[in-house]
Amino acid sequence: MPELPEVEITKISLSKQILHKKVKNVTILNPKLRYRLNKQNLLSLKNKIIKKIIRRSKYLLIYFNDSNILLVHLGMTGRFYFVKKGKNKFDTSFYTKNEIIKKHDHLKLSFKGFDLVYNDIRKFGFIKKILSINIESTKHLISLGPEPLSSNFSFKYLKNKIRNSNSSVKNLLMNQSVVSGLGNIYVNEALFRSCVSPQRLGKFLKDMETRKIIIAIKKVLKMAIKAGGSTIQNYHNSEGKIGSYQANFKVYDREGEICKRAGCSGKIRRLIASGRSSFFCIKCQT
């Protein structure tokens, strides 16, 4: 499930391969995504050069030399992979179910010597071409909160944002306008590190807990990026490698198991809130 660390890893692997390279061809393989791929729009990227790739929240922004930007969101299952020219087949060392995956290819950008393919099983992702002058005002980016790893995501900021809220701290941290880039997994993990229950209401958080939450979020994200992200079911980076941070999960997907905190023997409980699973230790997260 791509959250900030997985999108950051994707950005790094894409940058290595396509930065400063010219798009030789654009092929729409299946236009059906969250927003239908616009053929006219995308075909105009032919012969353009990629100048810069940045990540904002869970979005990738691919800048071209003609003042256009490809805004990409990976949704739940979106990913990029490379195919070397002359090689007709996938590298099956990391795709075990080759045909099923290939069925969900959506867009191909051809470069000299290789293709870059966007693949998305569940079609929750999207790719849109946007004029760079309009990028800050697109509905996707305009209401995003601060980057969790930036200094703007501070105690003062977060306290002010949640001090009057009747929402749970879990929902607040998942809300992209409060802080952008977190998803279910890393919110669960950060709340565990903070010893705060996901059910606690924003307005009842103590200052010390708010401070702990900020530190925990930054720590968890940094460690996850260092580990190459987390691989759940089918996330791979664009080089086909899998992340390893899932081995460090303390609560996510550990329902019924024993808490890993030293000296705590609590059980991990799973609760559904707002349609999403919360995992937390009933003993040390209060």
Catalytic residues: 2-3, 58, 276
Determine the Cα–Cα distance for residues 255 and 270; give it in Å rounded to an integer.
6
Instruction: DSSP for 220-266, please give it.
Output: HHHHHHHTT----TT---TTS----GGGG-SSTT-TTSBP-STT--P
**Positions 62 through 121 that interact with DNA (CB under 7 A):** 73, 75-76, 97, 100, 103-104, 121
**Positions 24 through 53 that interact with DNA (CB under 7 A):** 34
Member of 21, 51, 102, 276 binding DNA (CB under 7 A): 276
C-alpha dihedral, 94 to 96 to 100 to 103, nearest 10°: 30
As measured in angstroms, the least distance from the Cβ of 14 to DNA is: 17
Determine the Cα–Cα distance for residues 254 and 120; give it in Å rounded to an integer.
27
H or E segment at 59?
strand 59-64
146 interacts with DNA by CB under 7 A: no
Print the binding letters for residues 241-270 with DNA: x by CB under 7 A, - otherwise. -----------------------------x
Determine the Cα–Cα distance for residues 244 and 241; give it in Å rounded to an integer.
10
Print the binding letters for residues 207-246 with DNA: x by CB under 7 A, - otherwise. --------------------------x-------------
Q: Could you give the angle at the alpha carbon of 254 between the alpha carbons of 206 and 223, nearest 5°? A: 65
Member of 17, 44, 176, 199 binding DNA (CB under 7 A): 176
170 interacts with DNA by CB under 7 A: no
3 interacts with DNA by CB under 7 A: yes
Q: Between residues 164 and 262, which has the closer beta carbon with respect to DNA?
A: 164
* Those residues with Cβ within 8 angstroms of residue 275's Cβ, 6 or more apart along the chain or in another chain: none
Determine the Cα–Cα distance for residues 280 and 271; give it in Å rounded to an integer.
9
Determine the Cα–Cα distance for residues 61 and 59; give it in Å rounded to an integer.
7
Member of 25, 47, 265, 274 binding DNA (CB under 7 A): 274
145 interacts with DNA by CB under 7 A: no
Per rule CB under 7 A, count of chain residues that contact DNA: 37
Interface residues with DNA (CB under 7 A)?
1-3, 34, 57-59, 73, 75-76, 97, 100, 103-104, 121-124, 139-140, 165-168, 171, 174, 176, 183-185, 233, 270, 272, 274-277
